[in-house]
Amino acid sequence: MVPPSPVQRRVRELVRFTQQLQRVHPNVLAKALSRGIVHQDKNLVVINKPYGLPVHGGPGVQLCISEVLPILAKMLRGHKAEPLHLCHRLDKETTGVMVLAWEKEVAHQVQELFRTRQVTKKYWAITVRVPVPAAGVVDIPIIEKEVQGQQQHHKMTLSPSYRMDNGKMVRVRPSRNAHLAVTQYRVLSSTLSSALLELQPITGIKHQLRVHLSFGLDCPVLGDHKYSDWNRLAPQKLPVGILKKLGLPQSKARHVPLHLHARQLTLPALQSGKEELSLVCKPPLYFVRSLRHLGLGIPSQDQNGDEDAAHPGGR
């Protein structure tokens, strides 16, 4: 038998890290989620959401987070436990802090905190290229548009208030469908071709971080195969330097997962006399490995990444 090449090994590793919880029995997923719990009290359960799992079901969805909440509740509180409730959503490819509530009323209370922007959210992203300046605010409205061409599809994109016309700045009439979108960012670590960013979305528009990074700062998230190119839905075109460090040819770039992690949520006190809750999740193992391969500094407490997300069946 021919031993696998370094590229084959790298691809297998990425596939293992990102797909192993998408095709398991719901009980196995619930068990993996229970091992990844970062906080639990009488009101809330906070999990570290794995990569590639949608929060809700839909056409073609084999397994989703909401489907296993009754099983997770029984694992935590016995067979008579009521199902847990979702308090917010994360995109299918995003990992990290996800808040669940035992009671519907508490779930509504937390949802209201999100809606009124009282929850502080911090994300980590590995980007292709380094934003200039190294810290700032992207304040550009976002709108959903249809992309014409061979593969007709919808994407979120920028809807700026001004444009250049013959060298003059001209105000654009705002579209009724455009959403206010504000993202604060800062570079935590960088090389010539990539960076680790901390992102703080002030608003919560669909795909906001990915759109602001790619179309606003020209620094798409590593593994963003949707927003790296406006016209096409195709694997991200990666610079030679990044491919070399990741040990992959461009033909295998499609295996690179989205490197966007919901790192921290700070919830205001749910009851008077209680303190605010700061919830932190380790990034998944593939994220930490990519940081190492790319030579990006890892904040000290996250050297190992989330082991449980990488080993659903136990160690």
DSSP 230: S
Nearest Cα to 296, choosing from 197, 213, 191?
191
**Burial group, residue 152, by CB count within 10 angstroms (0-12, 13-18, 19+):** exposed
Distances in whole angstroms, Cα of residue 11 to Cα of each of 28, 280, 293: 24, 29, 14
DSSP 198: E
Nearest Cα to 197, choosing from 303, 88, 292, 291?
291
Known catalytic residue at 139 = no
- Identify the sign of the CA torsion 297, 191, 262, 252: negative
Find the catalytic residue in 41, 91, 224, 229. 91
Instruction: Indicate the residue type of 69.
Output: L
- Residues classed as catalytic: 91
